[in-house]
Amino acid sequence: NTYDFGLVGLGVMGRNFILNVADNGFTAFGNDLDEEKVNALIEEGGDSNKVNASTDAKTFVNALSTPRKIMLLVPAGKIVDVVIESLLPMLHEGDIIIDGGNSFFTDTDRRESYLKKKGINFFGAGVSGGAKGARKGPSIMPGGSREAYQHVKPIFEAVSAKYNGEPCVTYLGPKSAGNYVKMVHNGIEYGLMQLTSEIYDLLKKAGGLNNQELHQTFAEWNEGRLQSFLVEITSEILAQKDELTDGDLVDMILDKAKQKGTGKWTSQNAMDLGIPVPTIDIAVSMREISALKEERIKADKLYDRPSPETVVKGSLVAKAEKALYFAFIMAYAQGMHQLADASKEYGYELELAEIAKIWRAGCIIRARLLADITDAFKADKELPNLLLSQAFVDKVQSTVDETRELVAYGATNGIPLPGLSNSLTYFDAYTSSKLPLNLIQGQRDYFGSHTYERTDREGVFHTEWEA
């Protein structure tokens, strides 16, 4: 028997992905060292001619039709290398390995060039959408050899999420383009999550909305321009009852956010590129501040904080909807800007419209806004920043005043809104034709003879500053 598709790592994601492949008429074979996971898949798969699995790597490799298409859904890091090494002696020229995890992009580049020498095609393919996405249709972000992609294309297009019938997967570019795009996807995800949490806090503290009202508010927003997976699940989370107490679950969840690194990598790499992504940066910082729970408790006792002045619910909700929309745009704008620059720097040849397109369904950052973002990059392939698209001017202009008002309210009333305020600052700075950094250039030249340029003539200047 020869199976169309192989998958190593039968955790929830792997099992769901393979069942999805089988649902779409392809035969699939799984491999995992854990016998229980192997048996669970065989049982759930039903017909072993369609879905089968083994703990034995040789049985697994021999079961696959050539060129073999083997996807790895194992934790990022050393394990990926270990699995590759164990498969390698059994593979043939032209076989394809697809890393579906959140691998760091330089690891993918290293693996790709190592495997290329051995005649094996390696893909880094970010998969977004969580367990449910893997089962029902994720967004898939593959990068690697364009020719080899033709072999996996039919399977990926069949299993991926669909937006108006269009598959949420496309060949993105060479080398680690797929993992890089997934990394920035996660950076944007961090930004949107931080912004949503701030708006939740503001509505609760300033407007006095209870969980039921918050649930309704987010549900209503999800019917409009804010429609998105994260707004939708926020509404559902706010309605969840706690099983252990009489209260609501959200109030029982500890306010310490964990992270696995992709958001931090996005920020770190943006710094390396010299591209500002302050909404993403602060989202990472806030997870770090949240982790300092014990210190926060001590510090809270040392300082006074103003008691938030209550504001009228209705108008607050309307303003918050605008501010969230404004800041969501800033998060996407920053992420897309980073992708545009990384594409040049790393030779990814990214098509930003194609990326926005495959994010419209299946992935965690799917949102109605992405249809507009797709159109903006379709209209201008070279658009450096979403804020320069005429189509976005009105969306931003009509929501910025309320954002200002809420950021000011947060500052006056001691409610931290760093994602909102960084988004606003980003906007104000990016849209300022003149910034005060002429003074910084003066200071640099003063203390270090670092030179400066002038506004009125070409060249590089240095001044012997008067002491």
- Which residues are identified as catalytic? 182, 189
Q: Using the rule CB under 6 A, give the single segment among 35-43, 55-63, 260-268, 374-382 that binds ligand 6PG.
A: 260-268
- Please say which residue, 126 or 207, places its beta carbon nearer to ligand 6PG: 126
H or E stretch including 422? helix 418-430
Among 116, 260, 293, 454, binds ligand 6PG (CB under 6 A): 260
Is residue 121 within 8 A of residue 94, CB to CB? The reply is: yes
CB 128 within 8 A of CB 100: no
Sign of CA dihedral 229, 221, 289, 294: negative
Please give the Cα distance from 57 to 256 (Å, whole number). Answer: 40
Residue in 32, 99, 109, 189 binding ligand 6PG, rule: CB under 6 A: 189
Q: Shortest distance, CB of residue 283 to ligand 6PG, whole angstroms?
A: 10
Which residue number is nearest to ligand 6PG in terms of Cβ?
128
Site residues (CB under 6 A) for ligand 6PG, limited to 263-302 = 263
Nearest approach in angstroms of CB 189 to ligand 6PG is 5
Alpha-helix runs per DSSP H in 222-367: 229-239, 249-252, 262-273, 278-291, 293-302, 313-346, 352-358
Q: Which of 262, 334, 374, 389 binds ligand 6PG (CB under 6 A)?
A: 262
The DSSP 8-state label assigned to residue 53 in this structure reads E
Decide if 333 contacts 393 (C-beta within 8 A). Answer: no
Min dist. Cβ of residue 147 to ligand 6PG (A): 27
Provide φ and ψ at 203, rounded to 5°. Answer: -65, -35
Choose between 5 and 229: whose C-beta lies nearer to ligand 6PG: 229
List the one residue from 186, 235, 399, 423 that touches ligand 6PG (CB under 6 A). 186
Q: Could you give the 3-state DSSP secondary structure of residue 131?
A: helix
Considering only 106, 197, 259, 441, the residue that binds ligand 6PG (CB under 6 A) is: 259
What 3-state class would DSSP assign to 20? helix
Tokens standing for 439?
């003074």
What's the closest the beta carbon of residue 177 comes to ligand 6PG, in angstroms?
Answer: 16
Q: Which residues of 127-149 are buried (b: 16+ CB within 10 A; e: fewer)?
A: bbbbeebbbebbbbbbbbbeebb
The verdict on 363 binding ligand 6PG (CB under 6 A) reads yes
Of the ranges 38-46, 140-148, 154-162, 257-265, which one interacts with ligand 6PG (CB under 6 A)?
A: 257-265
Judged by beta carbon, residue 286 or residue 363, the one nearer ligand 6PG is 363
**Orientation angle between helical segments 278-291 and 177-205, nearest 10 degrees:** 70
Dig out the tokens for 342 from the structure.
């990384």
Q: Report the nearest approach of ligand 6PG to the CB of residue 262 (Å).
A: 5
# chain residues binding ligand 6PG, by CB under 6 A = 13
**Secondary structure in 3-state letters for 237-260:** HHHCECCCCCCEHHHHCCCCCCCC
Which amino acid, 38? V
Write each residue from 63 to 102 as x if it is in contact with ligand 6PG (CB under 6 A), else as -, in one continuous string: ---------------------------------------x
Which 112-141 residues touch ligand 6PG, going by CB under 6 A?
128-130
The least distance separating ligand 6PG from the CB of residue 421, rounded to whole angstroms, comes to 22
CB of 191 to ligand 6PG, least distance (A): 12
Considering the complex, state which of residue 61 and residue 365 has its C-beta at the smaller distance from ligand 6PG. 365
Which residues within the stretch 378-397 sit at the binding site for ligand 6PG (CB under 6 A)?
none
**Minimum distance of ligand 6PG from residue 242's CB (angstroms):** 23
Q: In terms of CB distance, is 128 or 403 closer to ligand 6PG?
A: 128
Q: What is the rounded CA–CA span in Å between residue 27 and residue 51?
A: 6
* Cα separation, 311 vs 320, whole angstroms: 12
CA 209 to chain CA mean position, Å: 29
197 part of the interface to ligand 6PG, by CB under 6 A: no
Cβ proximity to ligand 6PG, 112 vs 189, nearer residue: 189
The amino acid sitting at 184 is V
Decide whether 95 or 232 has the Cβ nearer to ligand 6PG.
232
Amino acid letter at 398?
S
**Cα–Cα distance, 56 to 36 (Å, whole number):** 13
- When asked if residue 335 is in the footprint of ligand 6PG (CB under 6 A), the reply is no
DSSP at 356: H
Binding site for ligand 6PG (CB under 6 A): 102, 128-130, 186, 189, 258-260, 262-263, 363-364
